[in-house]
Structure 1
Amino acid sequence: MKSGPILLVEDDIDDQEFIIDALQTLGVDNPVEIFDNGQKALDYLLTSDQQPFLILSDVNLPIMNGLQLKSEIQQNPYLKDKAIPFIFLSTSADAKAVYEAFELSVQGFFVKENTYDGIQRQLKQIMEYWKSSRHPNSTP
Structure 2
Amino acid sequence: MKMHRDILVIEDDEDDRDILKEIFRDLGYKNNILFFSDSIEALEYIKRPEIEPFIIISDINMPKLGGFELRNIILEEEVLADKDIPYIIISNAQDEYSVKEANKLSIQGFIHKGNDYNKYKEKIKNLIDYWKENINTFSSKK
TM class by shorter chain equals: over 0.9
Whole-Å separation in 2 of the counterparts to 1:40 and 1:92: 23
Structure 1 residue 72 displacement after superposition = 0.2
- Aligned partner letter, 2:140: P
Percent identical among aligned pairs is 34
For 1:44, the equivalent position in structure 2 comes to 45
**What root-mean-square deviation, in Å, do the aligned CA atoms of Structure 1 and Structure 2 show?**
1.1
- Aligned partner letter, 1:137: K
Partner-residue secondary structure (3-state), 2:141: coil
CA contact (8 A) 2:45 2:51 kept: no
For 1:63, the equivalent position in structure 2 comes to 64
- Aligned partner letter, 2:25: Q
CA contact (8 A) 1:38 1:68 kept: no
Report how many aligned residue pairs link the two structures: 138
For 1:101, the equivalent position in structure 2 comes to 102
Structure 1 residue 50 displacement after superposition = 2.0
Single out whichever of 123-132 and 24-33 deviates more from structure 2. 24-33
CA contact (8 A) 2:54 2:85 kept: yes
Structure 2 matches for 1:109-128, cutoff 5 A? 109-128=110-129
Single out whichever of 110-119 and 63-72 deviates more from structure 2. 110-119
Runs of at least 5 residues in structure 2 that lack an aligned partner in the other structure: none
For 2:131, the equivalent position in structure 1 comes to 130
Structure 1 residue 7 displacement after superposition = 0.6
- Aligned partner letter, 1:2: M
Whole-Å separation in 1 of the counterparts to 2:117 and 2:30: 19
- Aligned partner letter, 1:96: Y
Partner-residue secondary structure (3-state), 1:82: coil
Cα deviation code 1:21-71 (max 9, x no counterpart): 111211112111111122111111112512101001000011000000000
Give the ranges of 4+ consecutive aligned residues of structure 1 lying more than 3 Å apart after TM superposition. none
For 1:13, the equivalent position in structure 2 comes to 14
Runs of at least 5 residues in structure 1 that lack an aligned partner in the other structure: none
